[in-house]
Every structure is written in structure tokens, then in C-alpha cells.
């Protein structure tokens, strides 16, 4: 079975989507529509902005969403998913690609999500760190033992778990995890503690927007971050989407479940190759490919 996966924040690059704009009339039309919906010319920042421009959450998230969704749309007959998943933000791209949500609604939600997250980050400065080379259970135990907000946030692949929390919580956890034998405990250049309880104000804000958005049953199962399980029911998809902001991204478990359910190839649609690398670490023999340009 063919699985298609969609990347999250961090995969952005200057020049992204320019080839789509120049070579596909449909992509050009939708990118101009995106400029109107967002109220600023995101295409200028995607095609010719600086790395700093693209790092702003309110730009990064819509930019990656647009790049991923438009690639899927321009693939035509080559895009025939039998199952989909997306990493964090990528879940929104996956939902639009699987026809559970319209392009316009998906973009509006992604923009609202980015702004809500930005506000939550500014209200409570916080961060994330990648922990390399330890069992998930060890990382979970250490996080639970610390008297600060710090949780396991992204189960990326075996031996790589990202933690999220307050600056004090992350510092303490990194110190203890290094003592416990982590090969690396590396703070990430992110704006805040995504997928942690510190995103609760953003979750509340986004919940109302998701509730008001029409979500249909997708054309194929979507494996969602919060429970790593296949979902085709629109109401359940909505609930999981709301829970995603404060819940962990169970990517390792998602890939394992997709393989158990018959996935024999994975295609990453969107910028970067991060998900291909993670999937290979889950199963070395798995066929992976990427589509990042027209």
C-alpha cells in the first residue's frame, strides 16, 4: 500500500514553491489566493525572503502547508494515497490532500494555528530539546521526575525523542538525561514549547476555529499524531486535531502502525527529507521517496 506523508515546521527553505508558481497555472492561482486569504504576500517571502523571514511561525507554517499541498495537487495521477499522515503541522497538509478539508479552510486554520502558537510562546517563553540515544521510557521517567513543565513531545524515531517545556524544565532534563547516557541533549532553535501543556491557550483558541470548520471523511485513512491510529471519521479527526497542540506527536508509533497495516512504500510530499530519514530508522528495509519540486 502507498503511504504519503507530509513534513512539519523546520523544513522551510528560501525559494520554496517558486517552481510550482512558475510552471503550474493551478499552483499559481492557489498561491495568489493564499496571498489574499493571509492578507500579505507570503509568496514574496517564500521565493525571495531571508531565512529569518521564513523562521517566523506565522510564515513558516502556511509556507510549508502551501508547498506540500500544492505539490500533492500537481502530482495528478501519481498522487493516489491509500493512507496518509503528517508530522505536527503536516497533519493539516495531509487532511487537505486526503480531501477531508478544502484548501481555503486548511490554510485559514494553519494561519490561525500559527498565530495562536506565536501568542502562547510570547506569553510564556519556553523551548524544546532533542534527546538522542536513549530509550523513550527513560526520557519519559526523567521528564515526570522534574518539578517543572517538561514533557516528551515528538517521538520522531527510535533513539530520537524531542522534549518540550519551560526553560528551567528543559535545562534540568537535559542535564539529567546527559548523566543517564544520552548521546546528545540539544536545545532546538524553536519559538516555544510546542506539543506541551504550555500550548493550552493556543489549543483553546484553535478549538473554536476547528469546530467551525467543515471536515469531511477523508478518501483514505489518516494516521493522526495524538494516537497514531488510522482515522476516517470526521468527528474523531476534529477531536484529535484539537488535542494535537498540547499532545505528543507519536511519529514512531504512526509509522509502525502504517507498516503493520500494509504500507510498503512512503513518499514524503513537501520540503526537506526529515521524514524519510525517520522512517528509515523505524524500518531500514522500507522503500522511501520524496517529492519536493515540480
Residue 195 bears catalytic tag: yes
Contact call for residues 168 and 206 (beta carbons, < 8 A): no
Contact call for residues 199 and 244 (beta carbons, < 8 A): no
- Find all residues with CB under 8 Å of 120, minimum gap 6, and list them: 192, 198, 199, 200, 201, 202
Looking at the DSSP bridge assignments, the partners of residue 162 are 130, 154
Identify the active-site residue in 68, 87, 88, 126: 88
- The total number of residues shown for the chain amounts to 294
- Is the torsion defined by CA of 215, 220, 225, 230 positive or negative? positive
Contact call for residues 30 and 72 (beta carbons, < 8 A): no
Q: State the alpha helices, DSSP H only, in the chain.
A: 18-23, 25-38, 42-48, 51-55, 57-74, 90-97, 103-123, 136-145, 167-179, 200-211, 234-243, 251-260, 274-282
Phi-psi region of 81 (alpha: psi -120 to 50; beta: other; left: phi over 0): beta
Identify the active-site residue in 68, 111, 164, 195: 195
Looking at the DSSP bridge assignments, the partners of residue 127 are 165
Q: How many helices (H) and strands (E) does the chain have?
A: 13, 10
Round to whole Å and give the CA distance between 127 and 154. 13
- Is the torsion defined by CA of 214, 220, 225, 230 positive or negative? positive
Round to whole Å and give the CA distance between 60 and 49. 12
Cite the active site residues. Answer: 88, 195
Amino acid at each position: 500500500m502507498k503511504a504519503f506523508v507530509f513534513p512539519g515546521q523546520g523544513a522551510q527553505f528560501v525559494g520554496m514553491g517558486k517552481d510550482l508558481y512558475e510552471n503550474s497555472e493551478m499552483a499559481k492561482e492557489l498561491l495568489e489566493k493564499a496571498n489574499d486569504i493571509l492578507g500579505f504576500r507570503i509568496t514574496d517571502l517564500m521565493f525571495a525572503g531571508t531565512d529569518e523571514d521564513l523562521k517566523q511561525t506565522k510564515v513558516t507554517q502556511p509556507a510549508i502547508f502551501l508547498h506540500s499541498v500544492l505539490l500533492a495537487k500537481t502530482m495528478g495521477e501519481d498522487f493516489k494515497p491509500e493512507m496518509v499522515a503528517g508530522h505536527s503541522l503536516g497533519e493539516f497538509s495531509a487532511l487537505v490532500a486526503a480531501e477531508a478539508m478544502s484548501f481555503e479552510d486548511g490554510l485559514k486554520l494553519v494561519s490561525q494555528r500559527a498565530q495562536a502558537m506565536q501568542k502562547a510562546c510570547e506569553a510564556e517563553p519556553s523551548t524544546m530539546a532533542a534527546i538522542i540515544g536513549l530509550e523513550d521510557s527513560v526520557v519519559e521517567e526523567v521528564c515526570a521526575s522534574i518539578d517543572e513543565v517538561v514533557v516528551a513531545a515528538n517521538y520522531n524515531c527510535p533513539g530520537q525523542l524531542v522534549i518540550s517545556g519551560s526553560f528551567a524544565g528543559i535545562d534540568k532534563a537535559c542535564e539529567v538525561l546527559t548523566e543517564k547516557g544520552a548521546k546528545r541533549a540539544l536545545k532546538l532553535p524553536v519559538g516555544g514549547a510546542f506539543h506541551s501543556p504550555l500550548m493550552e491557550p493556543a489549543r483553546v483558541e484553535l478549538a473554536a476555529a476547528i469546530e467551525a470548520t467543515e471536515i469531511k471523511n477523508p478518501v483514505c485513512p489518516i494516521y493522526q499524531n495524538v494516537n497514531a491510529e488510522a482515522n476516517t471519521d470526521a468527528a474523531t479527526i476534529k477531536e484529535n486535531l484539537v488535542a494535537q497542540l498540547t499532545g505528543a506527536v507519536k511519529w514512531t508509533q504512526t509509522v509502525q502502525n502504517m507498516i503493520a497495516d500494509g504500507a510498503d512504500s512512503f513518499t514524503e510530499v513537501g520540503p526537506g527529507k526529515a521524514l524519510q530519514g525517520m522512517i528509515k530508522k523505524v524500518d531500514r528495509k522500507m522503500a522511501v521517496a520524496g517529492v519536493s519540486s515540480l
